[in-house]
Chain A
Amino acid sequence: MKLMTCPLNGPRNITEFQCHGEVHRQPEPSGASDHEWAEYVWMSNNTAGVVREWWCHTPTNFWFLAERNTVTDEILATFPVPADGPLGEAS
């Protein structure tokens, strides 16, 4: 069984987690053009390599961030959502 380390609960089976896709920076809703907004809502980078993603530990509903290599499926790091500042984005 693959393990993932939850920042709140520690190492757990990967089946306790759900991946919610790569982190995107939300454009300012009132100022964004339709193109920018559609890009944000519908498009993903689908990077082959290291990406930063949203994950959720489902028994606690705890949301956090993880860096994962999408080619090898190796989880490089997990960390809680920063209290302030940017979440970081996949390049």
Chain B
Amino acid sequence: MGAIARSPFAHRLTGASQTPQNENVVIRDLSTLPRIGFKGNGTTNWLSSKVSAVPAAPNKAITLSDGTLIARLGKEEYLVLPGRDAVGSVCSELEASWNADDASGERRIGYPLPRADSHSWLYLEGSSIAQMMAKICSVDLRGDRFLQSEVAQTIVARISAVLIREITDGSYGLHMLTDFASADYLWDVLQDASAEFGGGFAGNGRI
């Protein structure tokens, strides 16, 4: 799935963005990176034949050797996020692969779910992320309760969200994918919630 041309946060990132004052809460906009999902009967078998591993249970994520993050959202539903330093595009490769298999008449391989234009994608990093999220989300996201590779599909600030704890040796990191069309609202919420910790938006892209 190709990346979108413009982030839904783009118009808020220019000019008077709230920049982080410290390392407590740093929010990055990854919305312009590609992402794709697959769902439906047979998806687990199909995806397992295309990548080296898939998570063993729903609401778990794994990172492949090239940095690709695969989150299992249900028995037969997956979300694929490209890695930090991805050279190729795992998303477009998987989509092309699915199209080829579908065209060759394979059945029970699920179906692709375009995610680039349905979900915005933020990466939240820092020592106070769990504290900040406690203000807008009811799931306990503290570091010792919401472990690396865990996934929570829940409500954040009254909109549905997929939260994935990053698998890293570094500080606490959280991927947050929410409704694309609610991005403007979410920006205001996060600006308000992060201000207490001196946090803010550090532009787009990864470190």
Binding site for B on A (CB under 8 A): 1, 8-9, 12-13, 15-16, 57-60, 62
A8 touching B58, Cβ below 8 Å: yes
Number of interface residues, chain B, beta carbon within 8 A: 13
Bound CA–CA A62/B154 (angstroms) = 12
Interface of B is mostly: strand
- Residues of chain A within 8 A (CB-CB) of B138 are 1, 12-13
A-B contact count (CB 8 A): 29
Q: Given A1-B138, A8-B59, is A60 in contact with B155 using a C-beta cutoff of 8 Å?
A: no
Q: A1-B138, A59-B160 are in contact. List 10 more A-B contacts (CB 8 A).
A: A9-B59, A9-B152, A15-B155, A16-B155, A57-B153, A58-B160, A59-B162, A60-B73, A60-B74, A62-B74
B161 touching A59, Cβ below 8 Å: yes
Binding site for A on B (CB under 8 A): 58-59, 73-74, 138-139, 152-155, 160-162
Q: Given A1-B138, A12-B138, is A59 in contact with B155 using a C-beta cutoff of 8 Å?
A: yes
